[in-house]
Amino acid sequence: MVYIYLQDLPPVSKLEEFEPSLITHVYSEEGELIGEFFEEKRILVNYSDIPQNLINALIAKEDRRFYQHHGIDFYGIARAVLANLKSGKHKEGASTITQQLARVLFLTPEKSYERKIKEILLALQIEKRYSKEEILHLYFNQIYFGHGAYGVEAAAQTYFNKSVKDLTLAECAMLAGLPRSPRYYSPILHPDAARQRRNQVLDWMVKEGKISEKEAREATEEPFKQRIAPVQKQVNKAPYFVEYVRQYLEDKYESRAVHRSGLNVYTTLNLKMQEAAVRTLQQGLRDLDRRQGFRPLKRDKSEEELKAELEKIREEEWASAPAVGQVLHGLVTGVTSKKAVVQMGNSTGSLSRERMAAWTSRSLEAVLKPNDLILVKVIGKDEKTGELTLAYEQEPLVEGALLALDPRTGYIKAMVGGYDFYRSKFNRATQALRQPGSSFKPFIYTAAIERGYTPSSRIEDAPFTVTDPQTGKEWQPENYTHRYYGPTTLRVALEQSRNVVAAKLLLKVGIPQVIDTARRMGIVSYLSPYPSLSLGSSEVTLWEMVSAYSIFPNEGILIEPIFITKITDRNGKVLEENVARAQEVLSESTAAVMVSMLEGVIERGTAKKAKVLNRPLAGKTGTTNDYTDAWFIGFSPSLVAGVWVGFDEKKKLGKDETGGKAALPIWIAFMKEALENEPPEDFPIPESVRVVKMDARSGLLANGGCEGSMVVQVFKKGTEPREFCNGGFGLEDAYSATTYEAD
């Protein structure tokens, strides 16, 4: 019979090749942990780092004759049988540490005589082949300690927020009491049972002579702090980005490898920029939502649902004291005509009627009730009482995305795919196809500059009609202002986002030629070959737009975006290493001309609000005709960032919610934080161009008679204007307030 079971056993020699399931770690460019993937939360620890007190506690509790037996403790079996017969219950087991290890590594948890026999045979083989120290090392790294923690290092961090090597005697005793029944003796779920179990282990250690009675008494008296936070929480400091990394890894290395192999993934994410991106996008979306007005609170959650939500908020938002400027959830505990009292963990705040008046004219009692869960912003703190002054916030229904990269390296620096990853995991930075509106126009102008047009070329801004071959209907583009401005230079037309000029330019250059230019610049989404393409009617992703715009400050060079620099296995072996792949898609002179024109969008055009940053910047706003999408894509010499704002179901953002109003403020706030420690830097000026003073109205060289519309403009050498203006064109000033377009 034994021979039959021996034939069916796995070879214990496999332990020499055994690789326990480990956590895959994802790091930022600074080397900070930003994400992890795992099936079993396990952190390997060296035997030398395991405290002797923990080893002694485990042996005293689980296997007192561990160093005397050879895998099976016959004395222990006899003792357990007698104890169980005496009590009439199965209260005491006799599995050795080696048997437990054999069961976990090689067998199923089913309870049967066949499994027990196999367990004994495997334990005998393991003891014959491996030292006691090696067996303990495997055990401590493999056994489950509850709440998702596998191995003693993960357990120490889960229960005590410290490394195993730093555990006290009392903490060692508590951990040693967990393996038999980690749920019942959990210090999180059952603190009283855990405390009694700890004291029991300490008593056993005294009986075994491993500690003195005084040491046991002092450990018993050590204050017991129950962990309020449940358990293991997966590190994820940049959820949209980390999820993007996960999808890439699973495509290349398969899901099992990603969640069990203990990979180390080094990314390009800048954590400071990422945090700024989350903060500024969320604030911008809340600002837009405020403009849409107050929405009555929904009170459709059951008591159980509210309790579950509060537990999550308590863990994620209320673990530390609220800081001024922070936006977080609060629980209304009382309402009067003058104020609402709001609880946030151990902190209390006051929301006044005056603060609520910015949202609604209704009384506080009419809009807030006790047990309402609301969103608030901390705007002050009373240093004497500790009470917080709060402002009401509203979780927006609108969505948005922000993506930033370094144009010189292609490194993705920040990625936010929505207001809240845990509300919607759909990544609008990489997955959402949306109409870019006027932010598509730079591709038309780039194609024109490549084909001999210059910033001083003029096109008649006047009504025209073209038959749309897609519908067979006549199509007539209109400017945002519903006005027309006559002969207009390309410089002014781009700055003011003149739709009619863009449509005419598209037809003059050729739709296939513009599509070809966009393709070379990295736009891979389908582009409809129709005149409406001039107004950004074809859907693209934010990723495509930001990548394409990065070519302008990078002197015509497209660097393929990179988000992972290196991946190593658990032993440090490099599995892949990514370096920038560069391709020249525009001449440096074309890129320089476009940068100069796009600088004008910020200097005088639809994005002039960005002048507040007081540094060289360029970019383009974008708005769809029905206000469903708002964009701004802009750049400095070292950073390109794009913002998209809209509803998922493509409905109107609201009247006049243009790219300049809905998206640009988010971009400004982000760039202010992202670049705050970088000195202003000028865009490169290649030798193949000339910088001249141009009259924006006529496109001629500026002189004293036309200083009111003088701009500094880059031209390809040989294409700059040769004649001076005389100031006598009689046109309205190209930069008067009435001619600004808002998209």
Question: How far apart are the C-alpha atoms of 482 and 472, rounded to whole Å?
Answer: 24
Collect all residues with Cβ–Cβ distance below 8 Å to 509 and sequence separation of at least 6: 444, 447, 448, 451, 453
**How high does pLDDT run on average in the chain?**
88
Q: What is the pLDDT of residue 738?
A: 36
The CATH architecture one would assign to domain 41-221 is Orthogonal Bundle (1.10)
* C-beta of residue 270 within 8 angstroms of C-beta of residue 413: yes
* C-beta of residue 402 within 8 angstroms of C-beta of residue 215: no
- Domain regions of the chain by residue span: 41-221, 316-393, 400-562+578-649, 689-739
- Evaluate if residue 79 carries a pLDDT over 90: no
Highest mean pLDDT among 118-132, 181-195, 379-393, 427-441: 427-441
Question: How far apart are the C-alpha atoms of 174 and 237, rounded to whole Å?
Answer: 31
Q: What is the pLDDT of residue 556?
A: 98
Half-sphere exposure of 230 (CA within 13 A, CB side): 12
* C-beta of residue 176 within 8 angstroms of C-beta of residue 164: no
Helices (H), 452-498: 490-495
Q: What is the mean pLDDT of residues 664-674?
A: 98
Percent of the chain past pLDDT 70, that is, above it, reads 89
Nearest to 743 by CA among 596, 626, 589: 626
For residue range 420-468, list pLDDT tens digits in order: 998 999 999 999 999 999 999 999 999 999 999 999 999 999 999 998 7
| Helix or strand holding residue 418 (H, E) | none
User: What residue type is 194 in one-letter code?
Assistant: A
Q: What is the pLDDT of residue 137?
A: 92
| Helix or strand holding residue 740 (H, E) | none
Question: How far apart are the C-alpha atoms of 154 and 175, rounded to whole Å?
Answer: 11
Q: What is the mean pLDDT of residues 499-521?
A: 97
* C-beta of residue 92 within 8 angstroms of C-beta of residue 41: no
Question: How far apart are the C-alpha atoms of 484 and 493, rounded to whole Å?
Answer: 11
* C-beta of residue 458 within 8 angstroms of C-beta of residue 448: no
The more confidently predicted of residues 231 and 343 is 343
Nearest to 335 by CA among 297, 365, 373: 365
Q: What is the pLDDT of residue 739?
A: 38
Half-sphere exposure of 655 (CA within 13 A, CB side): 1
C-beta neighbour count of 627 within 10 angstroms: 21
Highest mean pLDDT among 80-94, 286-300, 609-623: 609-623
**Beta-strand runs (E) in 578-626:** 582-584, 618-623
- Evaluate if residue 167 carries a pLDDT over 80: yes
CA 297 distance to own-chain centroid: 28
User: What CATH topology corresponds to 316-393?
Assistant: OB fold (Dihydrolipoamide Acetyltransferase, E2P) (2.40.50)
CA 130 distance to own-chain centroid: 45
Q: What is the pLDDT of residue 307?
A: 85
Q: What is the mean pLDDT of residues 235-246?
A: 94
Question: How far apart are the C-alpha atoms of 156 and 186, rounded to whole Å?
Answer: 13
| Helix or strand holding residue 416 (H, E) | strand 412-416
- Evaluate if residue 197 carries a pLDDT over 60: yes
Q: What is the mean pLDDT of residues 621-627?
A: 92
Given pLDDT bands bounded at 50, 70 and 90, which one contains residue 90? Answer: very low
C-beta neighbour count of 6 within 10 angstroms: 13
Question: How far apart are the C-alpha atoms of 442 and 600, rounded to whole Å?
Answer: 13
* C-beta of residue 442 within 8 angstroms of C-beta of residue 452: no
Burial class (CB in 10 A: 0-12, 13-18, 19+), 109: exposed
Question: How far apart are the C-alpha atoms of 617 and 636, rounded to whole Å?
Answer: 5
Question: How far apart are the C-alpha atoms of 76 and 94, rounded to whole Å?
Answer: 6
Question: How far apart are the C-alpha atoms of 373 and 378, rounded to whole Å?
Answer: 15
* Residue that is written with structure tokens 């390997």 in the block: 44
Q: Rounded to 5 degrees, what are φ and ψ at 402? A: -140, 135
**Sequential DSSP letters for 213-256:** HHHHHHHHHSPP----S-S----BSSHHHHHHHHHHHHHHH-HH
Q: What is the pLDDT of residue 119?
A: 76
Nearest to 641 by CA among 664, 659, 657, 622: 664
Q: Work out whether strand 388-393 and strand 347-352 pair parallel, antiparallel, or are unpaired.
A: parallel
* SS3 at position 426: coil
* Residue that is written with structure tokens 């790219």 in the block: 659
| Helix or strand holding residue 713 (H, E) | strand 710-716
Q: What is the pLDDT of residue 731?
A: 33
* C-beta of residue 686 within 8 angstroms of C-beta of residue 555: yes
- Torsion of Cα atoms, 165 then 168 then 169 then 170, to 10°: -130
Question: How far apart are the C-alpha atoms of 710 and 690, rounded to whole Å?
Answer: 16
* SS3 at position 6: helix
Q: What is the mean pLDDT of residues 481-497?
A: 95
For residue range 381-413, list pLDDT tens digits in order: 988 888 999 999 999 999 999 999 999 999 999
For residue range 687-742, list pLDDT tens digits in order: 999 999 999 988 999 876 665 688 999 999 999 999 888 744 433 344 443 334 44
Catalytic residues: 62, 438
- Which superfamily does CATH assign the domain made up of 400-562+578-649 to? DD-peptidase/beta-lactamase superfamily (3.40.710.10)
Q: What is the pLDDT of residue 707?
A: 59
Q: What is the pLDDT of residue 94?
A: 64
What pTM does this model have?
0.83
Report CA torsion sign: 311, 312, 313, 319.
positive
CA-to-CA separations, 120 to 2, 58, 290, 380, in angstroms, rounded: 11, 20, 69, 66
Question: How far apart are the C-alpha atoms of 548 and 557, rounded to whole Å?
Answer: 10
Percent of the chain past pLDDT 90, that is, above it, reads 65
**Sequential DSSP letters for 243-291:** HHHHHHHHHHH-HHHHHHB--EEEE---HHHHHHHHHHHHHHHHHHHHH
The more confidently predicted of residues 220 and 740 is 220
CA-to-CA separations, 98 to 80, 120, 131, in angstroms, rounded: 17, 9, 11
Question: How open is the CA angle 734-739-742, to the nearest 5 degrees?
Answer: 130
